[in-house]
């Protein structure tokens, strides 16, 4: 099951940027493919981009990074790609999809979320192997799933999840809807869920940090604007939004 959400936000560039891109105004569309865990901060970044630079619409597609990379390899038109790990971005680079060098812009790591109040009394990563506990994780091919596998190796723990999801937001959804007792998600997703979950820290996860890279794409219809968006994400304003959402610095 792949969950793909599409949201459009008005955005644009400064007059100087428009001049450097060789356009004289009007409305343009910039398509950004971004990891599901980036939904909240990238939404705000787009809004700030709009306020500063009227004239260009930014269309976001949020999903698991590996799903997005596969869509790009199959020819999906997009201008910018932001993934939740370097492995997926490396695959995009190897496929000739990326223009220039990807730029790391954020970090994230895993934590445990349970139903509010933690009724099953999960206190550690080891507890996720307990009898009668339904646990959900990300599928191995997506960044949060790859991080889960590394966490299992580091902790010497083998999980038996009841399902493996294609994005971290799907894992979170299974817990918040009561379909699972616990799940492994990014600390940013746990923070965004607020009182819908109880968070159980995983100290071992500090050794397994996902680095998020972003890059313009080689088939971009608006390469100048794609570069401008990447600069915005990796600049002071973008990083402030990401920090507020709980992401670490690269």
Residues 72-114 pLDDT 10s: 999 999 999 999 999 999 999 999 999 989 999 999 999 999 9
Structure-model confidence comparison of residues 21 and 67, the more confident one: 67
CATH topology of domain 110-207: D-Maltodextrin-Binding Protein; domain 2 (3.40.190)
Structure-model confidence comparison of residues 154 and 14, the more confident one: 154
pLDDT score at 65: 97
Provide the pLDDT confidence category of residue 48 given band limits of 50, 70 and 90: confident
Quickly tell me which residue has 């787009």 as its tokens: 46
Residues of the chain above pLDDT 70, percent: 89
Average pLDDT over residues 234-246: 96
Q: What is the DSSP letter of 219?
A: T
Q: Is the pLDDT at 43 greater than 50, yes or no?
A: yes
Average pLDDT over residues 10-28: 37
Average pLDDT over residues 153-165: 95
C-alpha R_g of the chain: 19
Q: Is the pLDDT at 232 greater than 50, yes or no?
A: yes
pLDDT score at 26: 37
Residues 182-229 pLDDT 10s: 999 999 999 999 999 999 999 999 999 999 999 999 999 999 999 999
Q: What is the CATH number of domain 5-107+212-244?
A: 3.40.190.10
In the chain, list all ranges with CATH 3.40.190.10.
Answer: 5-107+212-244, 110-207
pLDDT score at 18: 33
- Tell me if 53 sits within 8 A of 14, measured CB to CB: yes
- Tell me if 55 sits within 8 A of 25, measured CB to CB: yes
pLDDT score at 3: 29
Residues 6+ apart with CB under 8 A from 131: none
- Binding site membership: which residues? 37, 65, 168, 186
Q: Is the pLDDT at 52 greater than 50, yes or no?
A: yes
For the chain, the average pLDDT equals 89
Q: Where are the alpha helices (DSSP H) in 53-142?
A: 65-73, 86-94
pLDDT score at 9: 30
- Binding site membership for molybdate: which residues? 37, 65, 168, 186
């Amino acid at each position: 099951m792949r969950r793909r959400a599409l949201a459009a936000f008005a955005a644009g560039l400064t007059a100087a940027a428009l001049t450097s891109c060789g356009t004289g105004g009007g409305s343009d569309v910039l398509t950004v493919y971004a990891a599901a865990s980036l939904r909240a901060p990238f939404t705000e970044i787009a809004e700030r981009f709009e306020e500063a630079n009227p004239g260009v619409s930014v269309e976001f597609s949020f999903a698991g990074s590996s799903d997005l990379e596969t869509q790009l390899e199959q020819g999906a038109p997009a201008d910018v790609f932001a993934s939740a790990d370097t492995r997926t971005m490396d695959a995009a680079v190897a496929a000739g999809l990326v223009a220039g060098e990807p730029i790391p812009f954020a970090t994230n790591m895993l934590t445990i979320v349970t139903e509010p109040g933690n009724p099953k009394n999960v206190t550690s990563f080891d507890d996720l192997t307990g009898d009668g506990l339904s646990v959900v994780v990300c599928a191995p091919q997506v960044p949060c799933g790859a991080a889960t596998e590394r966490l299992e190796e580091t902790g010497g723990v083998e999980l038996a999840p009841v399902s493996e999801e294609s994005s971290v937001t799907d894992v979170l959804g299974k817990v918040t809807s009561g379909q699972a007792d616990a799940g492994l998600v990014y600390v940013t997703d746990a923070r965004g869920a607020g009182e819908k979950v109880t968070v159980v820290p995983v100290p071992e996860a500090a050794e397994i940090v996902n680095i998020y890279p972003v890059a313009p794409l080689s088939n971009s219809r608006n390469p100048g604007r794609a570069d401008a968006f990447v600069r915005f994400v990796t600049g002071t304003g973008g990083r402030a939004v990401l920090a507020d959402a709980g992401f670490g610095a690269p």
